[in-house]
Copies of this chain bind each other. A is one copy, B any other.
Amino acid sequence: MSEAPYKLELIALEGVPLVNAGDNLSAIVVEALARSGLTFAECEVLVVAQKIVSKSEGRLVRLATVEPSPRAREISRIVDKDPRLVEIILRESREVLRMRAGIIVVEDVRGLVLANAGVDASNANADGGDESVLLLPTDPDASADRLRDELRTRTGVDIGIVINDSIGRAWRNGTIGTAIGVSGLPALLDLRGERDLFGRALRTTDLGLADEIAAAASLLMGQAGEGRPLILARGVPYDRREGSAHELLRQKSLDFFR
């Protein structure tokens, strides 16, 4: 690992507009960067809120267009949710792990374990309706790769991308910013080669680097709006390589808590 710097800066890009389906995210980023008086440098990481990625990709679904299955109707009675919303959550999921009033914990089609498959009814109705919900990007790693490629073309600089979302955890209260898409940096740092101060191999074998970056950026994004969905992280210590948010997903067979 390269020598770590001693300072980390997180800067919210200014004046990001509301994003709609079909908008080009890389153009929005470059404009916001200029408006903020900033330029990219190698090894910087841009953290992008899932909501604007999903919106640009048209992942808004109108509930009126959804016909709930019998299973969705049954679950909707258990969890006290709109059966059309439950239908969408089931379509976005591989497996339902737990449910109770208001919440369905699933493994989603991307392999994430999270509440309600990340389907979000807040800040979603940019089309003016009040009955739309926003789904996670179909393939957040691919979304991150695409944005990175386009930004490299537009700016000449190859930065890292993390797409984050606020996700709940087992055992602990509160959501935290979590990496759902990664491009151009390791999501997981393997520390097995590292030695402690006394020369012993460390017991901890890996560090959730992209999750820590996602959490750090979330501190500036806030929850109540979309005003700060783009955070530039300067000084994150890592060695450049290709990466994927899948590195962070524990295999089901190795997971105690399913």
For A113, A195, A197, the residue with the greatest tally of chain B CB atoms inside 10 Å of its CB is A197
Contacts of A220 in B (CB 8 A): 4-8, 237
Taken residue by residue from 87 to 130, chain A's Cβ proximity to chain B (1 for < 8 Å, 0 otherwise) reads as 00000000001101000010000000100000011110100001
- State A218–B113 Cα separation when bound (angstroms): 23
Tell me, rounded to whole Å, the shortest Cβ–Cβ distance linking A244 to chain B: 12
- State A169–B12 Cα separation when bound (angstroms): 28
So how many copies of this chain end up in the complex?
A: 2
Contacts of A113 in B (CB 8 A): 170-172
For A172, A196, A216, A247, the residue with the greatest tally of chain B CB atoms inside 10 Å of its CB is A172
The prevalent SS among residues of A at the interface is loop
Could you list 19 examples of A-B contacts with CB < 8 Å?
A5-B220, A98-B257, A100-B256, A122-B196, A122-B198, A123-B198, A169-B170, A170-B171, A172-B208, A173-B249, A174-B188, A175-B206, A175-B208, A191-B223, A194-B224, A202-B223, A213-B219, A215-B215, A216-B216
Interface of A toward B, CB cutoff 8 Å: 4-12, 14, 18, 97-98, 100, 105, 113, 120-123, 125, 130, 166, 169-178, 187-189, 191, 194-198, 200, 202-204, 206-209, 211-213, 215-216, 218-220, 222-226, 228, 236-237, 247-250, 255-258
